[in-house]
Structure 1
Amino acid sequence: MLWLTDINNLSITFYQWLSLPYIWPWLVILIAILLGISSAWITWQLLQRQQEPKLEAQASVDKIAWHSLSIEQVLDKLQVSIHGLAQAEISKRQQRYGLNQLPEIKPRSALLRFFSQFHNLIIYVLLLTVLVTLVLGHLVDSGVIFGVVIINALIGFIQEGKAEDALQAIRNMLSLQASVLRDGKQVAISAEQLVPGDIVALQSGDKVPADLRLLKCKNFHVQEAVLTGESLPVEKQIDPVVQSSELGDRLSMAYSGTLVSSGQATGLVIATGINTEIGLISALVSKVETLVTPLLKQVAQFGRWLTSSIFVLATATFFFGHYYRGYDFTEMFMAAVGLAIAAIPEGLPAIMSITLAIGVQRMAKRHAIIRRLPAVETLGSVTVICS
């Protein structure tokens, strides 16, 4: 049982060390330095993350309202015959347009995603409060405050993970194979090899492998819920439609990631990869931007004002008591720390997180994914969503 004696001796030494008159200021300074270093590390990691390449459009065919053009005009603009592309032209277009796939953005590590939830001035103040109250022996207070901080971090961590899973789900919507007409022959190829100008054959059960201008249709219906939210299959046609038509009304088009529910069709590829409509959605979801809502602005302003006020009041209390009234240094330092702890609204992050999490949960029940918790505030002001 010698180890129990060693632990007891170590505890006695530790408390003797804490009882030294000038140890508290240095301890607080050390904790502040550690928090500052961690904040700088997280900031650097986030900046490095922002400098990584985002999903951007590859070389693309000029922005044309393909749905409003006749079949002859579409074939002419893409410089392709009804027999498909020749092999030499295919190689040139593959070099120009790249593969028909959505680029994969490297996700943030789980560790960085978790610790970035603490990158907030009020959270740093709360963590400092946890350490000070723990050293003072107020275990219940420390546990409650620390629990609030951890719950806040976990909610944000889990929600960001769901958003990244959603991006991967979009990638999984793309077709793997395509039946294409090349050099006058119908061949099966990987959908990644498609280029603008390819002529693709579709039948019931197929996923549309790229954005297509339809050339032939026979009782052709497409399920477009992933793009438009329309629950019923849409019957397609080959006739041009009005140029100003919305996405769901472009009956002469079939879009990447949608599902053929019945019939047969032949279509001309007019966009691939990130230039497709589903690619645009993927790019929007993958963008990592700093989200600053009115609520966050107010809380940040309040946090700066509160922290500055607490520091000024605590410092004034210490100097007034020690130098003007002659109280003991340690006694006044502990009084100043106690004043600072009492003035910190420990429940504020918890109230914010719980309120926003309730909104996120309600949205999740309706299959709406919110990448950042604060977005619930501005989304709550929306009355009508047009799709």
Structure 2
Amino acid sequence: MHSPLLELCPRLGRVLRPLPLVERPTAVQPLARLSARLGGADLWVKRDDRSHPDYGGNKPRKLAWLLARALGRGHRSLVTAGAIGSHHAVAAAFFGGRAGLRVCALLTPQPVTAGVRENLASHVLLGTEVRLVQDAGHLPAALGREMLRRTLAGERPTLVAPGGSSPVGTLGCVEAGLELAAQVRGGRCPPPAAVVVALGSGGTAAGLALGFALAGLEAPVVGVRVVPRSWLPPILPRLLAHATAALLARHGLPSALRAAARLRLEIDDGQLGPGYGHATPAARDAIERLREDEDLELEPTYTGKAAAALLDRATRAGPRAGPLLLWHTFSHEPGPGRGAAPGTHLRLPPEFHRFFGPDPAPRNDDR
């Protein structure tokens, strides 16, 4: 399968080649009706929601590299973490299971929505071993204990960071940045004045910024914060980009270190609202606008807040803002839990049953 990153860094391909999980390039499309509604703004979208026909979004890009490394090293199980509605955890179970790995996800509470329940039901149908960790601050220790337990049991587990945001996982987002740069050179879209993307675990924004720097694309990446600063201090995405650049340099691409020194990466703190998993009025408005004008499905925890930041920039600056591109990271296709039979959640460990009380918030408040 064609890999723009391996074309740039062929020595990396001698030790690691991504699994063919991504149907690339994903399309770049103008948001023509929305642009007209805003009085002449020039808005675009990168359709990573269609990165895979069964379960898209930004996660297949990271997992293509992470699973390839796990399989190459002979691992037999995968341990990861996220919130109870985490789409990363579902994607890890979906693609990890297809690759023949047993998947364990340590999950922490978040505001309960219909989408959260669907993702928990997905874990039942995918056979994920789920564990509830009451406080996100306890995840590092819980992950360490789980890895030790499985190692002692002879499972040869691999640890995948929350969101897949490690240097290896971030390679998939570097590749995505190279992909957009090629589309700009090919005339598929104008050079963006900014690329707006949700900022959760940081890997997508860090990888895009590094990929743009490698390709000479001058667009800044605007990471729209959806988690508290205590979860993701502002320095961490840059540190992740530098660690990914160091990985590439070790495999014959020293220019990655120079690229990392000129990253254009900004963080927009204005859309978080009450916290992770809490919808905001601006996010809900952005979701309705993109659904009505462009037939795009977003969700309020990640892509809705990123779209709200995009609309805020376009509204404040008008046409002089230049072309603005939204990187769409929410899967176009739902997980298997969308069609789960009533009572599926009863097959979860008992500690998860409390998340299935009456009257959840609307669907897709999670990722």
Compute the TM-score of the two structures, normalised by the length of structure 2.
Answer: 0.22
More helix, by proportion: 1
Q: Which has the larger radius of gyration?
A: 1
Identify the structure with bigger relative contact order (alpha carbons < 8 Å, sequence gap 6+). 2
Compute the TM-score of the two structures, normalised by the length of structure 1.
Answer: 0.21
